[in-house]
Every structure is written in structure tokens, then in C-alpha cells.
Chain A
Amino acid sequence: MQPHKLQSLSTALMSISLFYLVAFLSIFFSLLVIFSKNPIHSVLYLIITFFTFTVHYILLNAQFLAIVNFIVYMGAIMVLFLFVLMLLNLDEDSEPMKSNILKMAGLVAGLCLLITLVGSMKSLHMSDPVILKNPDLGLVKNLGKVLFSEFLLPFEISSILLLTAMVGAVLLAKREPKTA
């Protein structure tokens, strides 16, 4: 075998093993999110899970998506989660007992989701986690060009959706004028 071929083989092997390591870590930490007793610890594990997603994006050469995932999910949304959890009363004594009907409903909903996921897995075909069809697509420049030409309409519609949510939140938070 030629030396350069050997080298490319070894880099491919390395990125595959890196992929499986990061994939293992994301599953591991997402399990910890569910099983940890303390909600604040759950949130922290969720943050680490999001960080492993960022690593996945970097492995796929999607730099913009990686950094935006980092800024938006790790830097903003999870801070808000923590913020809300701190304002809640987390005493175990005052926690109301969950009724059996609620538990059953949760079980049914979860099983339905599982069946859907398994069903959708069948119709998917496994893609190679390492070799990319278009490796430069994730760079900021190329992504911007695609977003503002080919996918302009869905992009603008989703931004209007976000704007609507924001206006709605402001409207809800606004104090009602006193009716004299």
C-alpha cells in the first residue's frame, strides 16, 4: 500500500473512533439527565450533552451550526432553564404526589414515541458518519449563500415565526391598563 493511502486510512480510522467516542458520551450524558435526582444536576448533564452535539457538528465540518448550537443552546437556553429552576421551590416534601393516571399517560405517550422512532429508523438508510458528500457546505459563507438563495422563503417564514413568539411574549408580560 502506498504511504499516503495508509495515512488517509489511519485518519479515517481516527475520525470513526472519535465519532463513536463522542456518540457514546452523548448517549451516556443524556441518560444521566433522566436518571439524576436533582433537577439542577439534570440541567448540567443536559448542557454537557449539548456540548457533545457541538463536537458532532465540528466532526461534520459544520462550523457555523456548531458555534450557533453552542451560543444559543448552551449559552442562552440552558441558562434560562437554570434560571427558572432556581425560582421553583424544589423541596421534596412539598412536591405533590403524581397521580397514577398521569403516570399511565406518560407511559403511553413515551411508548408511542418509541414505536414511531423505531418505525422511522426502518425507512432510513445508514449514512457513513465520516465521509461527507459536500464537506464545505457547513462553512459560514456557503451556508449563508444557500440560506439566502435556495431556502430564502422557509428561512424568512421561520424568522417571522420567532418574531411572532417574541411579540406574543411581550404582549403577555405587559401589565393591563387599570380600568378606572
Chain B
Amino acid sequence: MSTTIYYILMIAILLFVLTTIAAWLIWLERRVLALWQDRYGPNRAGPFGLFIVVADTIKLFFKEDWIPPFADKFIFVIAPAIVAAAVLMSFVVVPFAPGIVVADLNIGLLFFLAMSSLGVYSIVLGGWASNNKYSLLGALRGASQMISYEVFMGLSLMGVVMLSGSFRLTDIVLAQQDYWFIVTQPVGFVIFLIAGVAETHRLPFDIPEAESELVAGFHSEYSGMKFGMFFIGEYLGVILISSMVVTLFFGGWLGPSFLPGVVWFFLKTFVFILFFILLRASLPRPRYDQLMEYGWKVLLPLALLNLLITGAVVLVMKE
């Protein structure tokens, strides 16, 4: 019985921590962007404007929750839930520290890929159910972008799997005790990071919502907390991709022993979250066809080549 209570407690703590971090990331992003763009950013509510998140949440809850009369109601309501649920499900397999993991599945990495492939449904269904041409255009772009980048995302991780010999994330972290996989898999790391940005459709790859041409893309018709779900789903996605990068390429919880493993994990993850925000501040959005061409003509061959060379080296080293 105690294991059941342990799991329930673990899931509750994880949900609480993740949603809180995701909410404060909104504040962090606005402050840091302001810093890089030489502005003040939100600084009125509370110390350093910290309470803007509370104010924003209250505002979202009190806004009129409008469902367009021309929309497909059921699908319109269910779409924003899918993205948040799929991303939160992925955190089930992330090992934060030895023993601190909800379920240490022996197909953990595949589970992560499976869940991240579900996220595309929320964009496609949300855009279609809105019954609006801009939403539909955004949905179509989102679908093709995410399906394409999923391919390289999976392929770029297979090098790590070959080196560690397991799909279990704990084993992958433990296999990095001598050196982090960034040393041997730099190409895989870069491809995974680019594919991760595209999967979370963050700038510069936020083409499904491209506000300068598509109003707000797939969530044009959404208001109130349904829009809030898309919003929080995006930030959860940023945390997920950052923590997966840390787990797979930067040794997860491993680090000098003067700090506990969880702290190392969160510190490393935080660096990548800041990197995601820096990307938004510094890079322009590519054109849609450039994005697809870049994916299929550059990243796919590179990922395959990386896989081939890694396989050959692993074979030679074994003999």
C-alpha cells in the first residue's frame, strides 16, 4: 500500500512543481527579454513584477470563455487539453535524481517520443475545430512541421541509445558517468535541440501561430483559460525539452557531489530554458518552405550519417 501512496504523492508534487515553474517562466521570459532588448519589462505588481503571473492568471479566468457558434464544440474544447496532458505525461519517465522518477520504464525514451507525437493533435484539432481560415492554415503548417521534425528527433536520439545500450532513461544517465554524451554525440545534440524547438513551436519556429501573417494561427479563436492551456502547454514543452537535453546529453543529475543530484538537474535544465528564451530574442522566423527544406534536406541526412558513424564506431570499439 505504501508504494501506492508514494506514487500518488510523487505525481502530486511533480504536477505542482511543474505547473508552478511553467507559470513563473512567463514572468522570467518577459523580464529576460526586456533585459536583452534594453527595456524594463513587467515591474509593477510585487517585487520585480513577480506577481504579474498571478494577475495574468486571474485575468485569464475572468475573461469571457467564448466558444464560436460556428466551431465544432466538442473538439474545440478538447484540443487545448491534449497538449498539456501529453507534455505532462512525458515527465513520467524523466529521472530527476536517483530514485526520484514516477515510472522508470524500460522503454522510457520511446515513451517520451510517443507522447511528444501526440502534441500535434492539439494544434491540428484546435485549428480545424475553430472553423477559421487563419486557424486552419496554422494547423496545416503545424501538422507538417511537427511530423517532419519528429522524424529527426527520434533519429538523433538513436546514437545515445546505441552508446548506452538501453531505452531506460536512468541507464542512459548512468552510462554518462565517465563523460557526458555531448562529447561523443555533438551532432545528435544539435539536431535534437533544433527538432525540440520545432516540436514546441517556439520562436524562431513558431510558424503555426506566426502572428504577423496568421493573426494568431491555430489559437486565433481561443479565449480565457482555453488559450491559457495552450500557453502553459508551450512553457511545459520548453521545460520538457530542456530536461530531456540534460538527461540525454548532459549527464542528468550527475555532477560534483557538493550539491545534491536534483539541484544539478534543475540548474542544468535552467540553463537550457534560458537558451530557449535567448533564441526568441535573437533569431528571426524563417519562411515556411525554408523550414521544411532545412529539415528534410539538411537535418535528415545529417541524422542518418550520425547514426551510421556512431554504429560503426561502437562496433569497432567492441572488438
Interface residues of A (CB under 8 A from B): 38, 40, 44, 47, 63-64, 67-68, 70-71, 74-76, 79-80, 82-83, 86-87, 139-140
Contacts and interface: CB of A to CB of B under 8 A. Distances in A.
Contacts of B111: 67
B144 A83 contact: yes
7 contacts: A47-B121, A74-B117, A74-B118, A76-B150, A82-B143, A83-B144, A86-B124
Given A44-B75, A75-B150, A140-B106, A82 B114 contact: no
B147 interface: yes
Contacts of B25: none
B139 A86 contact: yes
Range class of the B interface residue count:
20 to 34
A172 B150 CA distance: 24
Contact of B107 (A63, A75, A83): A63
Nearest to B109: A67
Main secondary structure of the interface of B (DSSP, over half): helix
A71 B154 CA distance: 10
Contact of B120 (A40, A79, A139): A79
Contact of A80 (B107, B121, B125, B147): B147
Contact of B140 (A40, A47, A67, A86): A86
A26 to B, nearest CB: 19
Nearest to A70: B114
A79 B110 contact: no
Nearest to A63: B107
Given A79-B124, A82-B124, A64 B117 contact: no
Given A79-B120, A82-B124, A139 B113 contact: no
B72 interface: yes
A140 B121 CA distance: 27
A79 B106 contact: no
Contacts of B121: 47, 79, 82
A76 B283 CA distance: 29
A140 B136 CA distance: 39
Given A83-B140, A140-B167, 13 more contacts: A64-B107, A67-B107, A67-B114, A71-B110, A71-B113, A76-B147, A76-B150, A79-B120, A79-B121, A79-B124, A82-B124, A83-B124, A139-B106
B128 interface: yes
Contacts of B72: 38, 40
A83 B114 CA distance: 19
A71 B147 CA distance: 11
Nearest to A68: B110
A168 B113 CA distance: 28
B196 to A, nearest CB: 16
B101 to A, nearest CB: 17
B27 to A, nearest CB: 33
A48 to B, nearest CB: 12
A97 to B, nearest CB: 26
Contact of A79 (B113, B147, B167): B147
A87 to B, nearest CB: 8
B159 to A, nearest CB: 16
A37 B161 CA distance: 44
Nearest to A82: B124
Contacts of B143: 79, 82-83
A68 B154 CA distance: 12
Contacts of B124: 79, 82-83, 86
A42 to B, nearest CB: 12
